[in-house]
């Protein structure tokens, strides 16, 4: 039985990472980052491994011929290897945006952002899967920036971008501290949900909580808006209960002052382990001179994304909304 290019490349990522994991005494994800970097650089970078392993790795990488694979084949195979590694450690901040959500986000970015070339920020870039999906599906030049506090995730994002030949600037820092970047045309972010522990820094935000820790996902929204040009679009993957929390009043006030709601696409609950974990794609635009709100916001309750017939109806509805509101 013939295996697909994605399966073949995943097998190589998996086997070379397992070998490096054993030799280096590291986690699978750390070994995967090392293996991906070897493949990109075209040489074995780990001096501490045995000569036998180095020779075996070199042979595996040479046989791959990575330039024969598409960007999406590389992204998907690397993503599968990352998912395997994440099952070993099960940290709450080590979660990946599903492919279907990434592709839908890319579709929406393509519809809303009209510039032939534009700048794009992901302030919670993680392993880079959402950002790479958007870049791979947008047939336009995008100057992309990713930020993440987790040094392992940012290393995986770096290898991910290099292997796909996507020129992404990556910063390993707390995304809610000041960023040394230019204002961007658009933001994509799968918002990390939870409390932000740094109350001193949170106090500098408009959405700071009156008592206790502030929600990190609220602060990510404010930070993203701060680094977006007037009129720029922001595409957030949000928890469905975003507007119902005890801190929601601050969020409403901030949005009323700074943002125009363009749309909310509720993802099918079947995508999530339980209803409480369900999410939506929230599209907003930063206010600016001459920026007008749509006649009505795009509100969509998405069917199963694998239901082609129902999804086609939704895409027709979205196209009609654009003609009526953005024409």
pLDDT value for 92: 52
**Residues 126/83, Cβ–Cβ less than 8 Å:** no
pLDDT value for 327: 64
CA distances from 304 to 36, 121, 239, 320 (A): 34, 28, 18, 21
Instruction: Give the closest residue to 237 by CA, choosing from 170, 192, 201, 185.
Output: 192
What's the CA gap between 314 and 307, in Å, rounded?
Answer: 11
Architecture of domain 99-326: 3-Layer(aba) Sandwich (3.40)
- pLDDT, one tens digit per residue, over 100-117 is 899 999 999 999 999 999
pLDDT band at residue 97 under the 50/70/90 scheme: confident
What's the CA gap between 268 and 279, in Å, rounded?
Answer: 8
**Residues 325/295, Cβ–Cβ less than 8 Å:** yes
Instruction: Decide whether 5-89 matches 99-326 in CATH topology.
Output: no
Whether the pLDDT of residue 276 is over 90: the answer is no
Sign of the CA dihedral with 89 first, then 92, 96, and 100 last: positive
Does 1.10.150.470 match the CATH number of domain 5-89? yes
Whether the pLDDT of residue 274 is over 90: the answer is no
Domain ranges for the chain, please list them: 5-89, 99-326
144-172 average pLDDT score: 96
**Residues 27/21, Cβ–Cβ less than 8 Å:** yes
Whether the pLDDT of residue 93 is over 60: the answer is no
Mean pLDDT value across the chain:
93
How far is CA 233 from its chain centroid? 16
pLDDT value for 90: 60
**Residues 301/266, Cβ–Cβ less than 8 Å:** yes
pTM score, whole prediction: 0.94
Token code pair at residue 204: 């500098």
Provide the pairing of β-strand 141-148 with 117-122. parallel
Token code pair at residue 299: 């509100």
What's the CA gap between 272 and 276, in Å, rounded?
Answer: 9
172-195 average pLDDT score: 96
Whether the pLDDT of residue 91 is over 80: the answer is no
56 vs 2, higher pLDDT? 56
- pLDDT, one tens digit per residue, over 122-140 is 999 999 999 999 999 998 8
Instruction: Give the closest residue to 228 by CA, choosing from 113, 104, 139, 103.
Output: 113
**Residues 142/158, Cβ–Cβ less than 8 Å:** no
**Residues 214/205, Cβ–Cβ less than 8 Å:** yes
pLDDT band at residue 234 under the 50/70/90 scheme: very high
What's the CA gap between 34 and 45, in Å, rounded?
Answer: 8
């Amino acid at each position: 039985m013939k295996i697909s290019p994605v399966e073949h490349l995943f097998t190589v990522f998996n086997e070379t990472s397992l070998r490096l994991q054993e030799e280096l005494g590291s986690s699978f994800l750390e070994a995967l980052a090392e293996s991906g970097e070897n493949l990109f650089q075209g040489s074995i970078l780990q001096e501490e491994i045995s000569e036998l392993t180095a020779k075996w790795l070199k042979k595996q990488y040479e046989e791959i011929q990575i330039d024969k694979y598409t960007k999406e084949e590389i992204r998907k195979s690397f993503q599968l290897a990352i998912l395997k590694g994440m099952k070993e450690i099960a940290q709450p901040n080590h979660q990946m945006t599903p492919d279907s959500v990434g592709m839908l986000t890319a579709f929406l970015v393509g519809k809303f952002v009209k510039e032939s070339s534009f700048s794009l920020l992901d302030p919670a870039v993680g392993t880079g899967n959402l950002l790479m999906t958007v870049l791979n599906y947008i047939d336009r030049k995008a100057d992309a920036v990713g930020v993440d506090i987790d040094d392992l995730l940012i290393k995986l994002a770096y290898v991910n971008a290099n292997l796909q030949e996507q020129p992404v600037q990556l910063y390993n820092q707390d995304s809610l501290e000041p960023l040394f970047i230019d204002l961007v045309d658009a933001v994509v972010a799968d918002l990390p949900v939870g409390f932000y522990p740094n109350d001193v820094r949170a106090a500098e935000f408009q959405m700071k909580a009156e008592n206790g820790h502030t929600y990190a996902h609220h602060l990510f929204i404010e930070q993203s808006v701060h680094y977006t040009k007037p009129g720029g679009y922001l595409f957030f993957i949000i928890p469905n209960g975003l507007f119902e929390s005890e801190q929601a009043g601050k969020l409403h006030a901030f949005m009323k002052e700074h943002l125009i709601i363009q749309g909310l696409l509720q993802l099918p609950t079947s995508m999530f382990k339980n209803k409480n974990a369900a999410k939506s794609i929230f599209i907003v635009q930063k206010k600016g001179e001459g920026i007008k709100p749509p006649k009505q916001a795009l509100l969509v309750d998405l069917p199963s994304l694998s239901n082609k017939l129902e999804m086609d109806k939704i895409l027709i509805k979205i196209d009609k909304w654009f003609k009526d509101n953005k024409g």
